[in-house]
Amino acid sequence: MAELNVSVVSAERRVWEGAATQIIAKTTEGEIGILAGHQPMLAILAEGEIRVTTASGEKIAVDAAGDSSRSTTTP
């Protein structure tokens, strides 16, 4: 499956970086889903959760309002 090179950054630091197959995030224009093979994009994130499915199938959730993150592994 195709992969995305993803960097989730805050004003202070890089929050998460790695290979992913899917990103779902809330922007100022609404929720978006990004898959590999689509045009590169830059979006202004709204407060909420950024959900990343890594290339290995792990689910990562990052809080767009802060720098907290958690991860859960897909069974």
- CATH number of the domain at 55, please: 2.60.15.10
CA distance 16 to 12: 12
Residue 60 neighbours by CB under 8 Å, 6+ apart: 16, 51, 52, 53, 54, 69, 70, 71
The per-residue pLDDT for range 39-62, each reduced to its tens digit, is 877 888 888 889 999 999 999 888
If one counts the domains in the chain, the total is: 1
The whole model's pTM is what? 0.76
State the residue range of the domain holding 58.
4-72
Residue 71 has pLDDT above 80, yes or no: no
* Residue 9 or residue 34, greater confidence: 34
Token pair for residue 55? Answer: 């290339």
The per-residue pLDDT for range 2-12, each reduced to its tens digit, is 898 888 887 77
- Average pLDDT for residues 61-74, to the nearest whole number? 60
CA distance 71 to 75: 13
